[in-house]
Structure 1
Amino acid sequence: MSEYLIAHIGHTIKDHEHITWWRPDSKGYTICIEKAGLYSEQEARGICSHGCCIAVKKAEAAKLSRGTPYYRRSDGTLGKLYDGDSHVVVPNGKTEWAALLAARVDCGKTDKPTPRAPSKARAIYLPTTLQEGGA
């Protein structure tokens, strides 16, 4: 059985650095695909029938994912962009949305995403070997 993630187009606005995903049991949202809910195709079709979200196989989202995002502090050091936890995120970019839309389960009309302009992005992604827990 395939596992699907639900990307919420309506809750991912152009000011957001990363795509917003539904959490498990349709209870809230997250930017981390590892913390997102896994849905069957039937559940995903029902959720995505209104156009404000799309369902994609988790494997497709994982192909677009990046490791924990950092930002540069005024003193030049790096800090985690979000709550200090590790996150696996998908940037809110034009390329990423195009790939997700191409891989989505067709549930009819879909709202148009609002990707963040590349010049506005502030996330810095470290190579896996430099991230916490990297080999």
Structure 2
Amino acid sequence: MTEHQVLGPASAGWSDYVGTAAAEDAVATLGSPSLYELAGVDRERWTILGIDIAVDATTSVTVYAFDRQSSGLVSVDEIERLGWESGQIPVSAFPVSADRVDAFIEDAFKRLSIRLVARTVRDQALVVHD
């Protein structure tokens, strides 16, 4: 029997701080590697749908991608529809090799924003006063 892991919200031990993250793809420029090249994922076969970046004793990156070739689905709309209709989208994990993690993080995103707040006040509005 195959074990399936559901990708949910990020967690870390006690998860004292929780939050959100957002990223913007780096602008593809001639001569620079794409997200697919940085992760070592074949763009002709796979569609990247998720990325984990974990910082512990070391930093690791795992990319999660959908196999268009084996599913027969081509567009992101079809993949999204599959998720709504079946309640899940099957993905495969592609760990980025340790020697490529820094380059991946530096080159994959134009912008990367992470906001963490104390778990106890996660549903409260934090308002910055000058």
Higher Rg:
2
**TM interval, short-chain normalised:** under 0.3
Alignment TM-score, normalising by the size of structure 2? 0.23
Q: Which has the higher strand share?
A: 2
Alignment TM-score, normalising by the size of structure 1? 0.23
